Each structure stands twice: as C-alpha cells, then as structure tokens.
Amino acid sequence: MNNPFDNAMTQLDKVAKIKNFSDEFIARLRQPDRDIRVSIPVKMDDGTLKIFEGYRVEYNNALGPYKGGIRYHPDTEINEVKALAFWMMLKCAVAGIPMGGGKGGITVNPKELSKRELERLSRGWVQKLSDILGPYKDVPAPDVNTTPEVMDFMNDEYQKITGDKTGAVITGKSLGKGGSEGRGTATAQGGFFVFEALKKELNLPDKCKVIIQGFGNAGLNAALIWNKAGYSIIAISDSKSGVYNENGLNIEKLIEYKKNTGSLSGFLEGKEITNEELLETECDLLIPAAFENQITDKNADKIKTKTILELANGPVTPEADEILFKKGITVIPDILANSGGVTVSYFEWDQNLKREHWSEKEVFNKLKPILEDSAKQTLEKAKESNTDLRRGAFILALERIEEKMHI
C-alpha cells in the first residue's frame, strides 16, 4: 500500500520539475505548518475506559483559515491525514476560496461504537483541540464516516468551551444547527459541474456509460445526479461487492435494496462483480468515490475507460497516473473534481458569520460558476505547460498560494 503522503510529495515534485517555483516555496510545502496527535480517553457504555488516537494537521493558511474534514476509520493514521491536508490546501486554492488546508481524523471503526460512545469520542476530539480551532483559525468539516450529527456534537462542544455561538467553527452541520442547504450532495454535484464543463473538450459521447466505485455520500449522490441527467450507470460498488448491468442499473431500486438488506449483494437486476472487476470494466467515465490507492501500477494497464473523475481523494497513484496518461486516459484530479464539498462548506461558514441562510438553488447557483471557472483555468494551465489536468490544477493552486506567501 502506497503511503498517501509520499504520493502527494511525488505529485509536488513532478510539478516542480515542469514549472519554475522557487526552491524555498517547494521546501515549505513539503511540511505541514503543524501536525498534532492527541489521545482521547472515552468512557465506554460498559464502564471501561478506551483510549483513541486523534489527529489534526494544519497544512498551510496562506489563503485563509485551515479548512478540512475529519475522518473516522480504523486505517486512519498521520500520513494519510497529512496527505489529505495537503490536497485540501490545493483544493481550496483551485476553487479560489479564501481557505487554507487542514485535515483531521481518529483511528476508530465508528460502526463498533454506540451512539453515546460516538458522541463522547467526538466531543473528546474537540476538547483536546479547541485551542487551535476557531472560525478564523481552523474550521473542520465531515469526511468519511463523519455525519452532520457528529459535526453537531463537535460544534456544541466548541460552543460550551469557548462561548462562540456563530457555529462557523464547524461546517457540515445539520440544517437545524446552522448547516447549509446542499452540503450533503455538494461533492457529487460539484463533480458533475466540473464534468459538464470539460465534457466537450474530452470528446466524450453525449450518453456516456458510467461506473462508480463507492456507495456513500460521494458515490451514491453521484449515481443519482448522473442518472437524473440521463447517463447510464452500468456498475457500482461498496466495500463488500459490486453490481453490473450493461443496460444500466435502476439506482433508486438499488438504494432501496441496500437499505433493506445492508448490501448490494444479491440484487437481481444485475450481475455481482468484485471491486477489481468493476474498475477494469469498459465504460466512458469511471468515478472512484471510495478511498485512496485504488488505481495503481498493478491495475492501471487494465483500466478500460476514456475518463476518470476522482470524487475520492487520492484514488490514482502517481505511478498509475503515468500509465493512464500514456494510454490516453484523462484523469480529472481530485483537487478539482471533488472541490464542490469544501466550496459549499465555505458557503456554510460565510452564512454562519453573516447570520444568513441561503436556499439550495442559491447555493448551487453560486457553486456552478466557481467550478466551471476552476475547470477552465485548470485546462488552460495544463495546455500552457503541455501536461495533464492534475499538473494543470497543481500549477493553478501553487501559483495562487505562492503569490500570497510572499517568499
């Protein structure tokens, strides 16, 4: 398994080679401003005490307060959080929003906790880190396995400790607690805006065949959005299995099926496939929307799609990037493709500070031009340097950050 932070640094080095950034600037970006590990003691329901390891990485705040989600996962560790914080820094810069890059996490399987244990753990993370958090300092958000309810616990704990009642310290809250309309679907919706902005340039057919890896917030909403727009979703998967139907899956039925059975396995209107098979099935658009390191030097050669849109963070390794480039497969990089989530998080922060509440229509009307513009600028940067979209997006972001850092 590739170390995600090594992958991120390899990507940075590749860009530094083709563009004249100063050595001092690149050296500063090879380390986060600060990375913090905390131990979080939690009283479990059976009376025992369990200690969890938590993290916050504040990568860079040249453009604004550190911003980034918190991941709850048994495999979460500091290198993953550092990589995600680095990508967040770039993502905010690509979107052109006044936020810096950060990320957090806890090594835990939240499915093994009761709701009360989950609440104590989430409040414990804030208790350990409240000094460094704040609407103008560091603004966490949700990521894998962290829900609006978890964000509400964290926001409430921060208010108790500091007295700050703006709610602007945490985004991704539930609507009643100051959350933004559209935040739940923003990542997938943003990916769709980016895709539509680039579709013509990528010479994709009008009615693309789409495959999605992951059936959570990003993947499930992407399936609904692409399907509603008339695209055929021919395969989709979760962590356990995948399902394939060459004529297109009925997504609403599949959601209902998983809700009732807890699994995609056994869905009668499709054939069961493994995640490996799913990635290697022929399609026009492949959307990895699960985890890092899914397309690597081991399987890149077997990928049979025209375009990959990275809704997940870091699903394609740097080695795989090179292989895909040679095969003529376009990768729309994570720092552009999934930036809808952080952009609507920024809208939530803005609404909280202004004491406003925007309608979903207003939110998406503001989101669309931002992402279309980022997509076009990324494409221009890639063309200028005769390189791929990932390097194009890096160049766009790094130029914006370097300008603000006055090195």
Residues that bind ligand NAD (CB under 6 A): 143-145, 187, 213-219, 237-239, 275, 289-291, 311-313, 338, 341
Task: Decide whether 312 or 329 has the Cβ nearer to ligand NAD.
Answer: 312
Task: Decide whether 16 or 225 has the Cβ nearer to ligand NAD.
Answer: 225
Task: Decide whether 16 or 173 has the Cβ nearer to ligand NAD.
Answer: 173
Task: Decide whether 150 or 395 has the Cβ nearer to ligand NAD.
Answer: 150
Which member of 14, 67, 91, 103 is catalytic?
A: 103
Q: How far apart are CA 215 and CA 233, in angstroms?
A: 12
Calculate helix-pair angle for 389-405, 78-95, nearest 10 degrees.
80
152-156, Cβ contacts within 8 angstroms, sequence gap of 24 or more: 152/177, 153/118, 153/119, 153/122, 153/123, 154/70, 154/122, 154/123, 154/125, 154/126, 156/123
Q: How far apart are CA 42 and CA 64, in angstroms?
A: 33
- Sheet containing strand 66-73, edge to edge, reads 34-43, 49-60, 100-107, 66-73, 138-142
Q: How far apart are CA 96 and CA 374, in angstroms?
A: 8
Tell me the closest approach of the beta carbon of residue 18 to ligand NAD, in angstroms: 26
Tell me the closest approach of the beta carbon of residue 344 to ligand NAD, in angstroms: 8
> Residue with CB nearest ligand NAD?
216
249 close to 270: Cβ distance less than 8 angstroms:
yes
Amino acid code (one letter) for 346: Y
193 close to 371: Cβ distance less than 8 angstroms:
yes
Tell me the closest approach of the beta carbon of residue 94 to ligand NAD, in angstroms: 13
The terminus-to-terminus CA distance of the chain in angstroms comes to 35
Q: Residue 166, class by beta-carbon neighbours within 10 Å (0-12 exposed, 13-18 middle, 19+ buried)?
A: middle
Tell me the closest approach of the beta carbon of residue 369 to ligand NAD, in angstroms: 20
**Cα separation values, 23 from 20, 64, 187, 222, 291, Å:** 9, 23, 34, 39, 32
Rounded to 5°, the CA angle 166-171-172 comes to 130
Task: Decide whether 217 or 351 has the Cβ nearer to ligand NAD.
Answer: 217
270 close to 243: Cβ distance less than 8 angstroms:
yes
246 close to 235: Cβ distance less than 8 angstroms:
no
Find all residues with CB under 8 Å of 208, minimum gap 6, and list them: 231, 232, 283, 284, 285
CA–chain centroid gap for 14, Å, is 22
Known active-site residue 207: no
Task: Decide whether 61 or 76 has the Cβ nearer to ligand NAD.
Answer: 76
Least Cα distance to 311 among 149, 151, 144 occurs for 144
Tell me the closest approach of the beta carbon of residue 191 to ligand NAD, in angstroms: 9
Tell me the closest approach of the beta carbon of residue 68 to ligand NAD, in angstroms: 10
Tell me the closest approach of the beta carbon of residue 72 to ligand NAD, in angstroms: 9
Task: Decide whether 311 or 323 has the Cβ nearer to ligand NAD.
Answer: 311
Task: Decide whether 4 or 178 has the Cβ nearer to ligand NAD.
Answer: 4
Tell me the closest approach of the beta carbon of residue 133 to ligand NAD, in angstroms: 19
138 close to 66: Cβ distance less than 8 angstroms:
yes
Which residues are identified as catalytic?
Answer: 103
